[in-house]
């Protein structure tokens, strides 16, 4: 089984680092919950592409001393995969971004779509955004990723239109689209946007606006997927055409 991964603050893994003290919440989880002991292998990452293979040299309550054996830096993937996920009830949006993180998405954008039943306002919106961030962090560690996906600020239709205008490629999942996502050629660089609607789908007005801005409506197959599965399924297809080759 792959060694567990823990996240450390930026700057911890500077070039030439030979030892790290894993403390704080991550240290407590490693030492007190997972009960890692001397000699076991551990992965640590700064969440920005730098990671290290380590070995526990000493375990104490709430912290581990680690010897760094292999320090690496992963380049930023290109193109960047960005999931614009509509807010959805029943935490289906959280299910979507959790799986998307496991599937190597680079950024997730919470989108207040016309037909989104869930609304982020005031303190509720702030707490919901933090929950997205925590979901992404947990999925990053579970999937042993060296990079934590960006969780963008909540987006409106206007915001999404701006992102489409600046993207190398923008795709809108829609059940009535004629073009298959499996036939899409990915650009070599830039942002590839994937727009997924809420339970009631993307409104005709939204689809028209996104298409006018340069987005391409695409379909996944003959079935209609839930908002929680559509994005991850589409990311798997795009990865198969790009990063997984």
Phi, psi of 28 (to 5 degrees): -65, -40
d(CA 231, CA 237): 10
> 65 Cβ partners below 8 Å, 6+ apart?
19, 20, 21, 22, 56, 57, 58, 59
Tens of pLDDT, residue by residue over 67-103, are 999 999 999 999 999 999 999 999 999 999 999 999 9
224 pLDDT tier (thresholds 50, 70, 90): confident
Rounded mean pLDDT, 113-117: 94
CATH class of the domain at 80-241: alpha beta
- Is the predicted pLDDT of residue 153 greater than 90, yes or no? yes
Task: With beta carbons less than 8 A apart as the criterion, state whether 115 and 106 touch.
Answer: no
| Chain mean pLDDT for the chain | 95
Q: Which of 183, 188, 158 is nearest to 171 (CA)?
A: 183
Helix crossing, 204-212 with 157-165: angle to 10°?
Answer: 30
Q: What percent of the chain has pLDDT over 90?
A: 91
Domain ranges in the chain with CATH number 3.40.1280.10: 80-241
Check residue 1 and give its pLDDT: 67
Q: Give the DSSP per-residue string, 144-189.
A: T-SBPPEEPPPB-HHHHHHHHHT-SEEEEE-TT-SSBGGGPPPPSS
Check residue 18 and give its pLDDT: 95
Rounded mean pLDDT, 179-189: 92
Joined together, the tokens standing for residue 241 give 């055409």
pTM of structure: 0.94
Task: With beta carbons less than 8 A apart as the criterion, state whether 108 and 155 touch.
Answer: no
Domain 5-73 part of CATH 1.10.540.10:
no
2 pLDDT tier (thresholds 50, 70, 90): confident
Helix intervals (H) in the chain: 24-28, 92-102, 122-142, 157-165, 204-212, 227-241
Task: With beta carbons less than 8 A apart as the criterion, state whether 106 and 78 touch.
Answer: no
Check residue 222 and give its pLDDT: 83
């Amino acid at each position: 089984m792959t060694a567990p991964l823990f996240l450390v603050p930026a700057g911890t893994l500077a070039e030439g680092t030979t030892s790290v003290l894993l403390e704080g919440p991550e240290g407590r989880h490693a030492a007190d919950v997972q009960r890692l002991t001397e000699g076991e292998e551990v992965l640590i990452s700064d969440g920005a592409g730098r990671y290290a293979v380590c070995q526990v040299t000493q375990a104490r309550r709430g912290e581990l001393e680690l010897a760094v054996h292999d320090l690496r830096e992963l380049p930023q993937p290109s193109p960047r995969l960005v999931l614009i996920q509509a807010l959805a009830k029943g935490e289906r949006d959280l299910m979507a971004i959790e799986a998307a993180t496991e599937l190597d998405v680079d950024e997730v954008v919470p989108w207040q779509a016309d037909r989104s039943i869930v609304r982020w306002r005031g303190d509720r919106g702030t707490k919901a955004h933090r929950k997205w961030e925590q979901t992404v962090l947990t999925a990053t560690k579970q999937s042993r990723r060296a990079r934590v996906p960006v969780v963008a600020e909540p987006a409106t239709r206007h915001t999404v239109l701006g992102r489409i205008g600046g993207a190398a490629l923008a795709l809108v999942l829609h059940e009535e689209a004629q073009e298959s996502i499996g036939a899409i050629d990915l650009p070599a660089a830039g942002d590839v946007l994937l727009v997924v609607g809420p339970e009631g789908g993307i409104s005709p007005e939204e689809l028209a606006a996104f298409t006018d801005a340069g987005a391409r409506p695409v379909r996944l197959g003959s079935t209609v997927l839930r908002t929680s599965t559509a994005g991850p399924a589409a990311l798997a297809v795009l990865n198969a055409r790009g990063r997984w080759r």
